[in-house]
Structure 1
Amino acid sequence: MRQDKPGVLLVNLGTPDTPTTPAVKRYLKQFLSDKRVVDTPRWLWWPILNIGILPLRSPRVAKLYASVWMDGGSPLMVFSQRQRAALAARLDIPVELGMSYGNPSLKSAIDSLMQQGVNRLIVLPLYPQFSCSTVAAVWDGITEVFAGYRSLPSVNFIRDYAEHPAYIAALKASVERSFAQHGKPDLLVTSFHGIPQRFADEGDDYPQRCYDTFNALTASLGLGSSEAMLTFQSRFGREPWLTPYTDETMQALPAKGVKHVQIMSPGFSADCLETLEEINEQNREFFLHAGGTRFEYIPALNDDEEHITMMLELVNQYR
């Protein structure tokens, strides 16, 4: 009789192996070659990517990574490994970490789980809000790995957890800690990673899932419409992305009388380049240069105990 043996696959986006131009170039090439991320026809995109973007962008991005690099690697890698270890310590089943791009690869993580006898895979993409460019890319990557397998495990795939009570509770706790430390700001800004507006027009429900998180969080905190707002960051390319844009918002707020902001990025399960450099450095400068006086960044949930408890609850649904 086939005995059930579950295992957990945690997945995040990925990171360069080192903060160097060659490593960043390899990583960006894999990331920006995924049709889920950039769906421009290949005949048009390949010259732009390989001749224009990679040679110019890689050295600049490598310097940014170097500015936030930690002893154990990039922040995303360090916190993701801590998350895996903390979750594994609270479970009696195998837990592995795989990245959609870079290392450890999805294949290496899945191979390890299969070698441990896992025949029921619980996949937890660490993206709270579904998007075709992130969660769907995880689905594609797993499917590609299993194309080389003769036997397949059953799969429980967690699509997202935008409104999960434990997720909202963890976010609420992080905001309350910040308010207690710094005082309540004029405005709480929740900055989510953007996607092209066209993706949403074509059916991606990501914007709605972001608003689902925002609405649940602000309701739990008792914040009114004038006390919190949602923005979108990290736009890339020339086509319109989801608005309002975080950077433009930061530059405009002081003229509207908002002098003290606290900002968080609830769509990121671990601090990374987009939170530590883009939000806490670039957008801090935008806000203060425009006349703001106080700017505080609320860290990602990372390996907070409340965050690991949430992961445990999500996984235990399929135990």
Structure 2
Amino acid sequence: MPSFLPEPALPYGQQNKTAVLLMNLGTPAAPTAAAVKPYLRDFLSDKRVVELPKPLWQPILHGVVLTLRPKKSAHGYEKVWLPEGSPLAVYTEKQAELLAQRLPDVIVRHAMSYGNPGVPQVLRELRAQGVMQVLVVPLYPQYAASSTGAALDKVFGELLQQRNQMSVRTVSRFYNDEGYITAMKQHIEAYWAQHGRGGKLMLSFHGIPQKNSDDGDPYPHECHETARLLAKALSIGENDYVVSFQSQFGKAKWIGPGTQELFDRLPKQGVLDLDVFCPGFVSDCLETMEEIAIAGREQFHEAGGRQYRYIPCLNTDAAWIDALTALVERNLRGWR
């Protein structure tokens, strides 16, 4: 017989609260190899993230990857670590706090797919508070099995442990949400007004292996649609922007064109002034602040580029919090 979690000590009549759970990828607890290693182990052991047979992948992971990569990643984290902690953790927590201010009649929490605060911990705390209805919003605008899918797996896995299961709604994507598009438009235009505008706008999304796309993952299609809608909102033409995909890992073929590949190629094609924005990230993190804002600038300049502007993510932008609030309110209808 399965063993389920004990139910809250609250009277059953008080177990009727509603919560919103914002989810993001996660982060190590410190910018050190010792802290990065267990985080990478959990992240890269997820079958949603690396779809290789376990007997093939685990020796590689525990041999080469977890021997070499933690030190390299820790060096990157050191460059972007904020006084309050990891950028991703800081901005995700602030987004949850700001959303809670807009929605005083519901409980708002955040959790990470890997690292802390973990999904089991947060859902059990919510259950102890009498929450029986939870709206889960992975903070990935475009759906990918390796990001949104992995996040929702964590939630559904915890439900398997509950005797009296919560009612759960999910927002699996919001790549074409009007508020999200408008928030990015206003954010980019405000940056241009303050810092100037380059000759081309690069919209860099996180990459996925080509095989995932071939097997039906909708991610690249949703990325291109986000880019099209954003370009339309900004009133820029097809020659004024380029879509690319960053953060390639391993030897498998990934969807392209690659962001790093374009950093080398664009100056040779006459693009000397480049603006870069990452629509797939609503919070700045290692992949945006180190890979794009720091390393990307260096690579572009070394290739002959002249002016490079990294436009920060939405983070705590007021229009983005407005859009997130509206998205949540639509999906809470009937529960409030």
User: Shorter-chain TM-score: which interval?
Assistant: over 0.9
TM-score, scaled to structure 2: 0.93
Q: Does 1:22 align with 2:34?
A: yes
- 2:102 is matched with 90
Equivalent residue for 1:9, pick from 4, 8, 21: 21
Alignment of 1:246-257 (within 5 A): 246-257=259-270
Q: Does 1:200 align with 2:221?
A: no
- 2:55 is matched with 43
8 Å CA contact 2:206–2:247 kept in 1: the answer is yes
* Residue deviations 1:164-209 (CA, integer Å, cap 9, x gap): 0100011001110121122221100000000001000001000010
Q: How many residues align?
A: 319
Q: Does 1:235 align with 2:244?
A: no
State the alpha-carbon separation in 1 of the partners of residues 64 and 37 from structure 2.
Answer: 12
Aligned partner letter, 2:283:
A
Equivalent residue for 1:72, pick from 84, 91, 94: 84
Structure 1 residue 147: deviation in Å? 1.6
State the alpha-carbon separation in 1 of the partners of residues 27 and 122 from structure 2.
Answer: 15
State the alpha-carbon separation in 1 of the partners of residues 24 and 324 from structure 2.
Answer: 13
State the alpha-carbon separation in 2 of the partners of residues 60 and 287 from structure 1.
Answer: 21
- 1:270 is matched with 283
Q: Does 1:178 align with 2:210?
A: no
8 Å CA contact 2:49–2:146 kept in 1: the answer is yes
State the alpha-carbon separation in 2 of the partners of residues 78 and 68 from structure 1.
Answer: 12
State the alpha-carbon separation in 2 of the partners of residues 170 and 273 from structure 1.
Answer: 22
- 2:7 is matched with none
Aligned partner letter, 1:142:
V
Q: Does 1:153 align with 2:166?
A: yes
Structure 1 residue 51: deviation in Å? 1.0
- 1:165 is matched with 178
Q: Does 1:32 align with 2:37?
A: no
Cα root mean square deviation, aligned: 1.1
Structure 1 residue 313: deviation in Å? 0.8
* Residue deviations 1:49-106 (CA, integer Å, cap 9, x gap): 0011001111111111111111111000011111111111111210111000000001
State the alpha-carbon separation in 1 of the partners of residues 197 and 54 from structure 2.
Answer: 49
State the alpha-carbon separation in 1 of the partners of residues 251 and 38 from structure 2.
Answer: 23
State the alpha-carbon separation in 2 of the partners of residues 20 and 253 from structure 1.
Answer: 35
- 2:326 is matched with 313
Q: Aligned with 1:232: secondary structure? A: strand
Structure 1 residue 4: deviation in Å? 4.6
8 Å CA contact 2:16–2:130 kept in 1: the answer is no
Q: Does 1:189 align with 2:176?
A: no
5+ long unaligned stretches in structure 2: 1-11
Equivalent residue for 1:110, pick from 88, 113, 123: 123
State the alpha-carbon separation in 2 of the partners of residues 184 and 102 from structure 1.
Answer: 38
- 1:209 is matched with 222
State the alpha-carbon separation in 2 of the partners of residues 178 and 259 from structure 1.
Answer: 19
Q: Does 1:132 align with 2:145?
A: yes
Aligned partner letter, 1:211:
H
Q: Aligned with 1:155: secondary structure? A: strand
Q: Aligned with 2:293: secondary structure? A: helix
Tell me whether 70-79 or 181-190 shows the greater mean CA deviation.
181-190
State the alpha-carbon separation in 2 of the partners of residues 143 and 155 from structure 1.
Answer: 9
State the alpha-carbon separation in 2 of the partners of residues 158 and 248 from structure 1.
Answer: 33
Aligned partner letter, 2:196:
G
Aligned partner letter, 2:73:
V
Runs of 4+ in 1 over 6 A off after TM superposition: none
State the alpha-carbon separation in 1 of the partners of residues 284 and 174 from structure 2.
Answer: 18
State the alpha-carbon separation in 1 of the partners of residues 34 and 98 from structure 2.
Answer: 32
8 Å CA contact 2:203–2:278 kept in 1: the answer is yes
State the alpha-carbon separation in 1 of the partners of residues 303 and 191 from structure 2.
Answer: 23
TM-score, scaled to structure 1: 0.98
- 2:6 is matched with none
Aligned partner letter, 1:144:
G
Structure 1 residue 134: deviation in Å? 0.6
